């Protein structure tokens, strides 16, 4: 999508250091963190949101949870507090599916 901010980050039109990268996913820190650790896990494919997911995305969703687990370990969150949040509808501000990994002290709603 031409003017989607996350597509621009994925295409490297906006410089961003990735915390995790694979053929199908990227992950990077949220620019306005809601917790001590706040990482966004984002599919490279432009999927608008949860409502656009279907059976064909089964493998991708497994990969997302594998990436989450990897990031939990690399940030030493396994014995700390962590949450995974996906916003939808009016709670979603960037219309490109993403999973928020929130770790440590949660400061505000995402």
Which of the residues are catalytic?
A: 98
How many whole angstroms separate alpha carbon 30 and alpha carbon 28? 6
From candidates 8, 44, 46, 57, binder to Zn ion by CB under 5 A: 46
For 39, the 3-state DSSP assignment is strand
What is the rounded CA–CA span in Å between residue 4 and residue 26?
15
By the rule CB under 6 A, 31 interacts with ligand AMP: yes
Residue 5 interacting partner from Zn ion, ligand AMP, none (CB closer than 5 to 8 Å by kind) = ligand AMP
**Interface ranges with Zn ion (CB under 5 A):** 1, 4, 6-7, 46, 96
């Amino acid at each position: 999508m031409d003017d989607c901010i996350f597509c621009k980050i994925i295409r490297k039109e906006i410089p961003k250091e990735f915390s995790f990268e694979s053929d199908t996913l990227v992950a990077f820190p949220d620019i306005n963190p809601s917790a001590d650790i706040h990482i966004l896990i984002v599919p490279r494919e432009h999927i608008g949101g949860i409502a656009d997911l279907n059976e064909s995305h089964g493998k991708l969703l497994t990969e997302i949870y594998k990436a989450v687990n990897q990031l939990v370990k690399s940030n030493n969150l396994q014995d700390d507090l962590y949450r995974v949040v996906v916003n939808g509808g009016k709670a979603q501000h960037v219309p490109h599916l993403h999973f928020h990994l929130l770790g440590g002290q949660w400061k505000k709603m995402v």
